[in-house]
Structure 1
Amino acid sequence: MIEDKIAPFLGTWILDTDASDFEQGEPPKSATLKIEDNFGMAIFTMNQVSTDGEVTNDTFEAVPDGPEVKLGKSGLVDAMRLVFQDNRNLVSEARRGGLTIMKAERELSDDGLTLTVTQTVHLVDVASFKNISVYRKAQ
């Protein structure tokens, strides 16, 4: 069942800035990632504070291993999908015109206390950038 697969990912995760590695942009001063299950719908809420104190809040939701979700609000991407690669890897892909332009791979540690998010951004005809965010499970 999907609920069983998502269960280890649920909770509040706190960014370990020292363990994280950003190729693009400045790493935030602090960040949290909250993953909730709402009757099979995974809800991701990200909150971060930049080094200059700017607060950014973002949220998205998708059904793990469900159909691609069409997005209307963002001009950058028009579709999103969320899939389990295996029991420890939950991957989201943001797509535009059928091409994946952003991929976030969430890998859970064996002990379930660390979530490593590798976010790859593909800039068409320019380059790809990888930001690795290491989160620790809040107790």
Structure 2
Amino acid sequence: MSDKLSPFLGTWILDADESEFDQGEPPKSATLKIEDNFGMARFIMNSVSAEGEVTNDTFEALPDGPETKLGKSGLVDAMRLVFNGERNLVSEARRGGLTLMKAERELSEDGTTLTVTQTVHLPDVASFTNTSVYRRAQ
């Protein structure tokens, strides 16, 4: 496991009041779990919309490793995960080499808050940014 990944590991709970969404409504609740899976970073996301719809998603990638090819999504075909300093973990979802979604995960200095700034690029349409603030579960 990468020592740089260790501070990001654990379960994070969305603070909806501190989050800001350009696209869509903030979920009623959400959790993000980051695990080490034999050197791969595994992200497990669960959310409940304001209407009560449950969404679960999982992906994994090798931090600072090669681009990971994806097969299940029709939107993107590859994922890249890199560290930008010690407190910023960035993923890029791509299709045909073009970045369509970028998520920057910034860890607070005290390690208790994870701010995820996700930008979605819709080619020839617009870009939208959602900022989700998560607190470390106790």
What TM-score, normalized by structure 1, do the two folds share?
0.98
Deviation digits for residues 52-84 of structure 1 (CA, Å, limit 9, x no counterpart):
111000000001001001111111001100000
1:10 maps to 9
Deviation digits for residues 72-120 of structure 1 (CA, Å, limit 9, x no counterpart):
1111001100000110000000000110000000000000000000000
1:49 maps to 48
Q: Equivalents in 2 of 1:94, 1:101: separation in Å?
A: 6
Report whether the alignment pairs 1:29 with 2:28. yes
Structure 2, gaps ≥5 residues long: none
Number of residue equivalences: 138
2:128 maps to 129
Aligned to 1:4, the other structure's residue is in SS state coil
Q: Runs of 4+ in structure 1 displaced over 2 angstroms?
A: none
Aligned to 1:8, the other structure's residue is in SS state helix
Superposition pairs of residues 93-112 of structure 1, within 5 angstroms: 93-112=92-111
2:89 maps to 90
Q: Equivalents in 2 of 1:125, 1:138: separation in Å?
A: 39
Counterpart residue type for residue 56 of structure 1: T
1:76 maps to 75
Q: Equivalents in 2 of 1:66, 1:101: separation in Å?
A: 19
Percent identity, please: 82
Aligned to 1:3, the other structure's residue is in SS state coil
Structure 1, gaps ≥5 residues long: none
1:40 maps to 39
> How much has 1:38 moved relative to structure 2?
1.4
